[in-house]
Structure 1
Amino acid sequence: MDTLQILRMNGGEGETSYAKNSVVQRKIMSYESPSIEEAVTDILCKNFSETMGMADLGCSSGPNTLTLVSEVIDMVNSKSQKMGFSLPEVRVSLNDLPGNDFNDIFVSLPTFYQKQEEEKGKGFRNNCFISCVGGSFYGRLFPKKSLHLVHSSSSLHWLSRAPPRLAVDAAVPLNKGKIYISKTSPSSVSKAYLSQFREDLSLFLKSRSEEMVPGGRMVLSFLGRTSADPATEHGGHQWELLAKALTSMVSEGRVLEEKIDSFNAPYYAPSLEEVRNEVEEEGSFVIKSLKALEVEWDAGFQTDSACEIQENKRKISSRGGRVAKTIRAVVESMLESQFGRDIIDDLFVKYAELVDDYFSRTTPIYINLVLSVTRKGP
């Protein structure tokens, strides 16, 4: 499965869009702020120049995208003034796969610039230059030594492809009835996923090392796990429940069993140790910090009063319903490609029910890893 062809967040501003259902990702981004601020300070102290290159990889679309840009610009301005530097021009490159809704970003830019100039002064437009770059971050995207700061949030758990070792004859499925690593999966499945993750992360790091200036900083946030067990619930139970929802539709004659057996999510939630080992082995970066944070499955919905008001208007009565919309906004394109458009609405009704049942028995959490690294010298 080529992720480049089938992975994209739901575009637009509709009820199932990523823009309307990305509060969990927004909550995760809020946890990154201390690491980003430390990185910005370090860059200005060691690599100050008249221009600063920044890239946000896997930016998607919707309100989260430009919120991050605004926060980074605020940090750059504040730190520069405290250090007695003139404000540098910041070149911001927003990257995602070609199927991303870049139109949404372009349409929102005039309003973004107007708001920023009202808050920060008329000079903002002359200090911040935003462009979009379509393409996979598992490969080169930018000129050599053009970036000082690289950021990526809720993206690197997506692999460049599902592990090819799992693409065997459907008559002998390696991961029968599952779409990700499960307690019942043979060890060959988890080994195949780890191998693909290592290959992808190594390529990601190598590509960024060529694009970043020596001493440049990178802050990466993605779903992972603290357990050594790749089948731990915190590592991917959302996929286990999705497999159950799909399996329930087999008996209804709406989903073919072999379609489930041949679908493997292009996703991997690595452990802290797996991330550390790969960064050290690739060798281009020094780890400044690597930490794991817990995030509830419906985080953000509980604290964002404006969002709660909107959700009540939409008559979403359960936590499972909110989680289902969040997951749907992210994986719908993949599922539609494999199982067809007709089942999607009913599939996520079933999924919401399974998530509600799971909430009744436990408090589901994601483990979010935050990695901050420095590009080694020349």
Structure 2
Amino acid sequence: MDSRFTHSIPTLGFFSPIHLHIIKLCSNGKSENERKNGDEERISKYSYVSPLCMSGGDGYNSYSTNSLLQRRVLSKAKPVLVKNTKELMINLNFPTYIKVADLGCSSGQNTFLAMSEIINTINVLCQQRNQNPPEIDCCLNDLPNNDFNTTFKFIQFFNEKNITSKESYFVSGVPGSFYSRLFPRRSLHFVHSSYGLHWLSKVPEGLEKSKMSVYITNSSPLSTYKAYLNQFQRDFATFLQLRSEEMVSNGRMVLTFIGRNTIDNPLHRDCCHFWTLLSKSLRDLVVEGLVSASKVDSFYIPFYDPNEKEIKEMVQKEGSFEIRDLETHGYDLGHCNQDESKRSKSGQNEANYIRAVSEPLLVAHFGDAITNILFNKFACHVSQHASCRNKTTVSIVVSLTKKKLSSCPKV
């Protein structure tokens, strides 16, 4: 395995001298207004969704420190990423300029791994084919609340360790939701997004009272599943339509989701599913009088774990892209069912991971007073379920090609 996917990256306190700028984009007028219609009440009701982002900085509880799982996922998706990068360059006849976007880049150690793989693949292929390497515009996108400062601290490592050629790439930050327009029409050649698209743009409408469950469980009414599925379908269709406007014909996308491998029972989630264990931990706090039941009842995770069939159907229905690759990989959180000390360590590791991706949401709704005790309980629940192997939770990797304009639906 490439050592970049296994070794910890040191924190750096300075910026690279390479070309770096931040782009602040305005919202897309009409389509954005249409999406906002009727949302005022929901924004107030679920205001905790607004600060959705990973925990910033590079401290003990940060996403940067607790993102080994995502690094493993990037490693598994690497063959698809490399293959599609090569095919893009060949099909576009080795263009002199390439614009690449990483959507939902987050912050910290993993941000530049996919981008550096794309750049290295392009440069090596150009050397092999005796072609001049293109100038590469590298756009890092996430929500405005993302910790871009921590992200850019790692540019020096990106510059010194990961790149075969330093003269021809330019890095920029693009704050904004990938459920809105981010780039000019027909300007993007390659889009990558890893572990971003299972996050929804908002909490689904029409959810019944949760009975202190933050997500779908085996005991949820079928209407809860349908509400989450409908929101995912709307969001993913929006994402595909907007990217089809921004991408050139024959452009490529490689997208990785947290998904599930169940089809027959859409409500089934393992007993050790991370949101199931978070619900258990919150219920513990209710029993201890630290949180009110009504407060837990009003909290929902804006998340959906699709299966392959649901992803494939939405791509085909939207119509702008053709599926090239569709793979499913195991979801490895490093669970261990051996001695007690290793179980405890596994529990703490998963608690740190879930905390890093959910703490801003939880703090916005519950405040920060309960956070430490909540994730101590979460770690205990994980340890108690150490023999669970997350049999239904998987990572799904899909690569897409933008159809030629004549074969795309009108937008």
Q: TM-score w.r.t. structure 2 length?
A: 0.82
Number of residue pairs the alignment of both structures matches: 354
Give the equivalent residue in structure 2 for 1:220. Answer: 255
2-side partners of 1:268 and 1:163: how far apart?
10
Name the counterpart of 2:125.
79
Q: What are the superposed Cα offsets for residues 109-141 of structure 1, whole Å, 9 maximum, x if unpaired?
A: 24432445xx63xxx332110001001001110
In the other structure, the counterpart of 1:50 is 96
Aligned residue among 64, 77, 86 for 1:32: 77
8 A contact 1:181–1:230 mirrored in 2? no
Q: Does 1:179 align with 2:214?
A: yes
Provide the secondary structure at the position in 2 that maps to 1:165: coil
State the secondary structure of the residue aligned to 1:192.
helix
In the alignment, is the contact (CA less than 8 A) between 1:292 and 1:370 conserved in 2?
A: yes
Q: Shift of residue 71 of structure 1?
A: 1.5
- Assess if the C-alpha contact under 8 Å between 1:291 and 1:370 holds in 2: yes
Aligned residue for 1:40, secondary structure, equals helix
Per the alignment, in what secondary structure is the counterpart of residue 104 of structure 1?
A: helix
Q: In structure 2, what is the Cα distance between the partners aligned to 1:2 and 1:111?
A: 37
| Aligned mates of 1:235, 1:198 — CA distance in 2 | 26
Residue in 2 that maps onto 1:320 = 347
Matched with 2:111 is 65
**Are the equivalent residues in 1 in contact too, given 2:216–2:224 (CA < 8 A)?**
yes
Q: Percent identity?
A: 41
How far residue 92 of structure 1 moved from its aligned partner, in angstroms, is 0.5
User: Are the aligned partners of 1:49 and 1:88 in contact in 2 as well (CA < 8 Å)?
Assistant: yes
Partners of 1:272 and 1:364 in 2: CA distance: 17
How far the C-alpha of 1:60 sits from its partner, in A, is 0.5
- Unmatched segments (≥5 aa) in structure 2: 1-45, 406-411
Q: Which moved more, 1:200-209 or 1:254-263?
A: 254-263
Q: Deviations over 1:199-225 (max 9, x none)?
A: 000000001001111000000001011
Shift of 1:377: 0.4
Q: Does 1:16 align with 2:61?
A: yes
1:156 aligned onto 2:181? no
Tell me how far 1:174 sits from its aligned partner.
2.6
Q: Give the secondary-structure state (helix, strand or coil) at the position aligned to 1:94.
A: strand
Aligned to 1:364: 390
Which of 337, 340, 345 is the matching residue for 2:364?
A: 337
Question: Contact 1:358–1:364 (CA<8 Å) still a contact in 2?
Answer: no
| 1:142 partnered with 2:163 | no
Q: Choose from 326, 334, 341 the match for 1:290.
A: 326
Deviations 1:160-184 (A, max 9, x none): 0110222xxxxxx532221100111
Whole-Å separation in 2 of the counterparts to 1:234 and 1:268: 15
TM-score where L is the length of structure 1: 0.89
State the match for 2:149 in structure 1: 103
d(CA) in 1 for partners of 2:108 and 2:160? 17
Q: Name the CA shift for 1:235/1:253 in 2 (closer, same or farther; >3 Å).
A: closer
Q: Give the distance between the partners of 1:186 and 1:371, measured in 2 at CA.
A: 30
CA-based RMSD of the aligned residues comes to 2.1
Distance 1:193 1:54 in 2: 30
Amino acid of the structure 1 residue aligned with 2:280: K
- Give yes or no for contact 1:3–1:266 (8 Å, CA) kept in 2: no
Query: Is the contact made by 2:323 and 2:398 (CA closer than 8 Å) also made in structure 1?
Result: yes
Higher helix residue share = 1
Q: Does 1:273 align with 2:318?
A: no
Q: What SS is found at the alignment partner of 2:248?
A: strand
Alpha-carbon offset, residue 75 of structure 1? 0.5
Indicate if the aligned counterparts of 2:272 and 2:390 stay in contact, CA closer than 8 A: no
